[in-house]
């Protein structure tokens, strides 16, 4: 009789514990879902400007002597995200890919960007460019002058 009571007590104890774990897991899951839903996601702006903007680097008369004899390289600017807090983009020149962060302002139908590369590479600098319609034009100034 003692064996049956012991076996019955153990079985009841196991089932009682199993139910409590399930409830705790459910509560934890519900809390996580609520946290995810309440997290603020910054609304994206000007999404029609996202993507690749590709063109030639043009050497200005001022820098002509400095770059004489060098091949003009292609520039690829990839705009990845625009929010109220800023712009995230990437520049690729001669295989050198650099992250850029900065800001954009809208003036009439033009979008004016000021973008900085990280600054930890000798070729990093600041891009200042304007997008008007389907044309991007601007300038680049190296940090290390």
The residue extents of the domains of the chain are: 1-39, 47-142
Is residue 13 scored above 60 in pLDDT?
no
Q: What is the pTM of this model?
A: 0.66
| pLDDT one-digit tens code per residue, 71-86 | 667 889 999 999 999 9
Q: What is the mean pLDDT of residues 39-46?
A: 82
Taking a C-beta distance cutoff of 8 angstroms, is the pair 127, 115 a contact?
yes
Q: Would you give the DSSP letter of residue 44?
A: B
| pLDDT one-digit tens code per residue, 98-134 | 999 999 999 999 999 999 999 999 889 999 999 999 9
Strands (E) across the chain are located at 51-56, 74-83, 86-93, 96-107, 110-116, 125-132, 135-142
């Amino acid at each position: 009789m003692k064996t049956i009571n012991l076996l019955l007590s153990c079985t009841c104890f196991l089932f009682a514990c199993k139910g409590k774990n399930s409830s705790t897991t459910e509560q934890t899951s519900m809390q996580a879902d609520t946290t995810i839903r309440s997290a603020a996601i910054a609304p994206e702006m000007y999404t029609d400007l996202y993507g690749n903007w590709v063109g030639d680097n043009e050497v200005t008369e001022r820098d002509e002597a400095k770059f004489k004899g060098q091949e003009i390289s292609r520039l690829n600017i990839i705009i990845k995200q625009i929010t109220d807090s800023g712009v995230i983009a990437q520049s690729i020149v001669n295989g050198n890919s650099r992250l850029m962060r900065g800001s954009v302002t809208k003036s009439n139908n033009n979008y004016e960007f000021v973008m900085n590369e990280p600054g930890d590479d000798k070729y990093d600098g600041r891009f200042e460019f304007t997008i008007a319609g389907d044309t991007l034009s601007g300038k680049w100034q190296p940090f290390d002058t």
